[in-house]
C-alpha cells in the first residue's frame, strides 16, 4: 500500500456505496446504533469489520495490543462506558487471535520498555492459569491456550465494569469470547460459561 493508493481506494469506495444507495452517507451521518462492541487486537491481519462481514454502523470497535481490558486503561474503560451505557450495545465481544505477537512477547523474558507494564497483564493471566498451561508440553499448543485464556480473562475484566453489571440488570446484554484463527480465517466461539464465572466472582466484584 502507499498513500496515493489509499486515497484512490477511498474514491472508489465512495462511488461503490453511492451506486447502491445515493443517500448512503447522508443516512450514515444521522447517527449510530451498533449492536456489537468488538474489542480486538491491533494486529494488521485481524481486520475486525472485514472478518465479521460488518458494514459501517454495525460494530463499535476498540483495538489494542493483545485485546486487553486492564481496569486502569482509560481508553478501553471509556470505550466500554460509551458503548454499553450510551450506545446500548447488546453484545460485547473480546476477540483474540492465534499467533498474537503480544501474547508471544509476554511468554518470553525480555525487557520491552513501555510494553512491559502492558504485557504484564498477560503474564498475570499466565500466573492465574499456570497449572494448566505448564502441563501443556507442546509450546505452540501452550501459546494457543494462553491466547484463549487471555480472551477469557479480558471478558472477566469486561464483566467487572459497573456499566456491564448495570446492563446485565437492565437488559439482555451478552459477553462473548472469540478467537480468530489466522491459519484458516475461522472465527471460533470459545463458548465461555459466563454464568458459572459470574457466580464465582460476583461476590468479590459486585459494585452495585
| β-strand partners of 149 | none
Distance in Å, CB of 43 to Co ion, minimum: 4
Q: Which three cell numbers stand for residue 57?
A: 454502523
The answer to whether residues 194 and 159 touch, using CB atoms and an 8 Å cutoff, is yes
* 195: annotated active-site residue: no
Number of residues that bind Co ion (CB under 5 A): 4
Burial class (CB in 10 A: 0-12, 13-18, 19+), 142: middle
- Considering 45, 134, 189, 193, which one is annotated as catalytic? 45
**Does residue number 41 form part of the binding site for Co ion (CB under 5 A)?**
yes
* 95: annotated active-site residue: no
Range in contact with Co ion (rule: CB under 5 A) among 43-51, 156-164, 174-182, 188-196 = 43-51
Q: Of residues 76-115, which lie at the interface with Co ion (CB under 5 A)? A: 100, 102
DSSP-derived 3-state class of residue 181: strand
**Does residue number 43 form part of the binding site for Co ion (CB under 5 A)?**
yes
Range in contact with Co ion (rule: CB under 5 A) among 2-10, 38-46, 81-89, 190-198 = 38-46
Q: Which residues of 36-46 are buried (b: 16+ CB within 10 A; e: fewer)?
A: bbbbbbebeeb
Question: Annotated catalytic sites, by residue?
Answer: 41, 43, 45, 97, 100
Residues that bind Co ion (CB under 5 A): 41, 43, 100, 102
Amino acid at each position: 500500500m502507499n498513500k496515493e493508493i489509499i486515497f484512490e481506494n477511498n474514491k472508489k469506495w465512495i462511488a461503490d456505496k453511492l451506486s447502491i444507495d445515493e443517500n448512503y452517507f447522508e443516512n450514515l451521518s444521522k447517527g449510530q446504533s451498533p449492536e456489537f462492541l468488538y474489542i480486538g487486537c491491533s494486529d494488521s491481519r485481524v481486520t475486525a469489520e472485514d472478518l465479521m462481514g460488518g458494514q459501517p454502523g454495525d460494530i463499535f470497535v476498540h483495538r489494542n495490543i493483545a485485546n486487553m481490558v486492564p481496569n486502569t486503561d482509560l481508553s478501553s474503560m471509556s470505550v466500554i462506558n460509551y458503548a454499553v451505557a450510551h450506545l446500548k450495545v447488546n453484545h460485547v465481544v473480546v476477540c483474540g487471535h492465534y499467533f498474537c505477537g503480544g501474547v508471544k512477547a509476554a511468554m518470553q523474558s525480555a525487557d520491552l520498555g513501555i510494553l512491559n507494564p502492558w504485557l504484564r497483564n498477560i503474564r498475570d493471566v499466565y500466573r492465574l492459569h499456570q497449572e494448566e498451561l505448564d502441563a501443556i508440553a507442546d509450546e505452540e499448543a501452550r501459546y494457543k491456550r494462553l491466547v484463549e485464556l487471555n480472551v477469557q480473562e479480558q471478558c472477566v475484566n469486561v464483566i467487572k465494569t459497573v456499566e456491564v453489571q448495570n446492563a446485565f440488570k437492565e437488559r439482555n446484554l451478552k459477553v462473548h469470547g472469540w478467537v480468530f484463527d489466522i491459519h484458516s480465517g475461522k472465527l471460533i466461539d470459545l463458548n465461555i460459561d459466563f454464568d458459572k464465572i459470574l457466580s464465582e466472582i460476583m461476590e468479590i466484584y459486585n459494585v452495585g
